[in-house]
Amino acid sequence: MPSVTRRDTEDLRAILTVHIAKEDYENQVNKKLNDFRKKAHLKGFRKGQVPMSYVKKIYGKSVLADELNDLAYRELIQYLTESEMDTLGQPLPVEDQLAPELEIRNYIDYDFEYEIGLIPVLDLKGLDKSITLDSFDIEVKEEEVQKEVDKYLKQRGDREEVDEVSAEDDLMMVNLIELEGEEPKAEGLNKYTMLAIQDIQNEDLKKHILTLKKGDTFDANIHELVAENQANDVRKYLLSVSEEVQFNDTFRVEIDSITNFKPAEMNAELLVEAVGREKAEKYVAEFLPKEEDENQEEDNGDDSDLDIPEVVDLGGLIEEENTISDEEKQAAEKGIREEIALMMKEQANDAAENRLMNKMIDELIEKNDIPLSDIYLRRWLQMNNEGEKLSDSVYEKTIKALRANLILAALAKHLGVYTSLDDVEAETRGDYYERAGLDPSDPRTEEQYQKFQTMMLKYDESFMVKRQNQLNNDKVKEKLEDLIIINKKKVSNTEFNDIVKAEYEEANKKEEEAVEVVAEEMES
C-alpha cells in the first residue's frame, strides 16, 4: 500500500510525501495495458495480437501517469481524514517539483510531494468579558413604514414603458460607455444595465434626468449612479467586472428605455397576497359593520360566525362592479402596513445582531495574532482564481474572512456548541431522507443521497462549509452575553443605518491601509 509521511515547516505548512512502491501499481497498470492490447486496432496487426512492448510504447506512460495520480490522491485523502489534521484548503503539488521520469519497461518506486496549509492552535484572548460593545434595539418609524408600503404597492402595480422620465421611482435601461476626456475610450467598457433614478446621489443630476426622454444621453461620474452605500462597488452593481479591471470615472449614459410604475390598489386580493388568507380574514373582520341583535349573547370573542359581505368575501374577493368598499380598503391597508412593519422590525434586528457578531469577531481579530501561511495561501487562492492575477485587495479580504471563520469555530468550541462538518453532513442527509421520503435501511437510499450531494457540491463546492459556518454563527450569536459585555441602546432605523454606514467607511479605510502596507512589503 502507498504511504504518507509528514514534515511541518516553520511557516505553517505541512509537506506530505506520498511513497508509491512498484508493487502498489504494477498489477493494475498491466491489467489496463492488457485491456488496451485486446481492443487495439493498429495497422499491421490483427486485433488482440499487438505486441505488449508496442502497447507499452504507445499507451504505457499515460496509463501509468493516471494510475499514479489516482493512487496519490486517494492516499492523501485517506491520510488527511484519518489523521484529523487541522488544515486550510487542499493539497497542492510542491512548487518547482520535477516531474518524475515515468519508467514503463522496468517499474520503479515513486515519491510525490504536496503542501497544505495548517490551522494554528488558537488560545483566544478577549473571552473574559473584556470587550464591551453596543447592541441596538431598533425602532421603525411610521414614515419609514409608509415608504415601504408605497414601494410594495408600486412593485405590485402595473409597469408601463414610457417615452419620458416622469418620477424618481422610474427605472431606466441604459448603455454605459466609458469616456476618455469627452469621447468614448478606445476599447473601453460598454455595459447595458438598469439604473434606478432614486439611487442617484447628485441631486442636480437627478433633476436633469427628470427632464430627459428615451434616446437622450448624459455624462456622469459612475460612482454617483448607484446608492451611496454602493458607491465603492460599482464594478459589482453596475459594470459586472472583476477587481482587476481598471476604468475611468466618467461614463456616457444612453437611455434605451424608461419604465414607469402605477401603484396597485388597496384591496382584499392584495391583502391575501401580502399576509396570507388566514390573517387576511382577521383583518377584514375588524372592519365589518357590527349588527345589533337584542337576543345576541355577550360577546365571547368568537369570530367564527361573522358574516363577511360579498365585497370583502375572501371567496369572491371583489364584487362584480369591481368597486372597493371603505372597509376593504381599511382592512387591506392595516394588514399590509402591520405585516411590512413587522418584517422591517425583524430585518432591522437581524441586521443589528449580525453587526454585533461581526464587531465582536473584528475585536477578537485585533486582540489575537492568528498566523497563516502566506506562501501556501497565495498559491491556493491563485489556483482557485482560475489563473487570474490575485490582487492585494482580494487577498486581504480573503485572509480576514479565513481568520474570522477560525475565530468563529474556536468560539463555538469554547461555548460547547460547535457543529462539525460531520454534523452538517448528518443533518443534510437526514433532511434529504425526510424530504424525499426515503427509507434509510434501503441500500438504494445511500446511492440516491450520494447523487444529491454530488449535485449540490457541483453547484457550490463550499456548500457544506458555508452551512457549517452558518450553524456555528447562529449558535454563538445566541450566547454572546457569555463572551462580552453588551451595552443595549434604542435607536431609530435611520440612526442605525447612519451608524452602520460610518462603520463601513471606517472598515474600508482600514482595509485600504492594510492593502497599501502589503503592497509596500511585496515591493521591498
pLDDT in tens, 380-434: 988 887 767 778 888 888 899 999 999 999 999 999 999 998 899 888 888 888 8
Q: Give me the percent of the chain exceeding a pLDDT of 70.
A: 90
Under the phi-then-psi rule, with left for phi > 0, alpha for psi from -120 to 50, and beta for the rest, what region is 433? alpha
Name residue 171's beta-bridge partners: 196, 259
Can you give the pLDDT at residue 297? 44
Number of other CB atoms surrounding residue 192 within 10 Å: 10
Can you give the pLDDT at residue 315? 47
Is residue 306 pLDDT above 50, yes or no? no
- The residues near 368 (Cβ < 8 Å, ≥ 6 apart) are 122, 124, 125, 126, 407
**Under 8 Å between Cβ of 499 and 136:** yes
Max alpha carbon distance in the chain (Å)? 111
**Under 8 Å between Cβ of 247 and 189:** yes
Can you give the pLDDT at residue 343? 93
Of the ranges 49-63, 246-260, 281-295, the best mean pLDDT one: 246-260
Is residue 292 pLDDT above 60, yes or no? no
- As a three-state string, the secondary structure of 314-337 is CCCCCCCCCCCCHHHHHHHHHHHH
Can you give the pLDDT at residue 394? 83
Task: Compute the mean pLDDT over every residue in the chain, rounded to the nearest whole number.
Answer: 85
- The residues near 428 (Cβ < 8 Å, ≥ 6 apart) are 453, 464, 467
Is residue 289 pLDDT above 80, yes or no? no
Can you give the pLDDT at residue 294? 45
Nearest of 279, 264, 266, 269 to residue 343 by alpha carbon = 279
**Under 8 Å between Cβ of 284 and 270:** no
Three-class SS state of 512: helix
**Under 8 Å between Cβ of 181 and 252:** no
pLDDT digits (tens, 9 = 90+) for 121-132: 899 999 999 999
Q: 5-9, 245-249, 399-403, 455-459: which range is least confident on average?
A: 455-459
- Domains of the chain, each with CATH number or no CATH: 3-118 (3.30.70.1050), 158-262 (3.10.50), 346-523 (no CATH)
Q: Once rounded to an integer, what is the mean pLDDT over residues 133-145?
A: 93
Phi, psi of 42 (to 5 degrees): -120, 135
**Under 8 Å between Cβ of 185 and 248:** yes
**Residues in the chain, overall count:** 524
Three-class SS state of 262: strand
Helix (H) or strand (E) holding 268: helix 268-275
Three-class SS state of 104: coil
**Under 8 Å between Cβ of 2 and 76:** no
**186/289: higher pLDDT:** 186
- CA 479/CA 417 separation, integer angstroms: 10
Number of other CB atoms surrounding residue 473 within 10 Å: 19
- CA 124/CA 484 separation, integer angstroms: 13
Q: What is the DSSP letter of 236?
A: I
- Overall pTM > 0.75: no
pLDDT digits (tens, 9 = 90+) for 200-252: 888 899 999 999 999 999 999 998 888 776 766 788 778 888 877 889 999 99
pLDDT band at residue 279 using 50, 70 and 90 as cut-offs: confident
Q: Once rounded to an integer, what is the mean pLDDT over residues 44-54?
A: 75
- CA 285/CA 281 separation, integer angstroms: 6
Q: 10-14, 293-297, 426-430: which range is least confident on average?
A: 293-297
Q: Give me the percent of the chain exceeding a pLDDT of 90.
A: 46
Three-class SS state of 228: helix
pLDDT band at residue 318 using 50, 70 and 90 as cut-offs: very low
Q: 119-123, 173-177, 450-454, 472-476: which range is least confident on average?
A: 450-454
CA-based R_g, the chain, Å? 32
Can you give the pLDDT at residue 256? 96
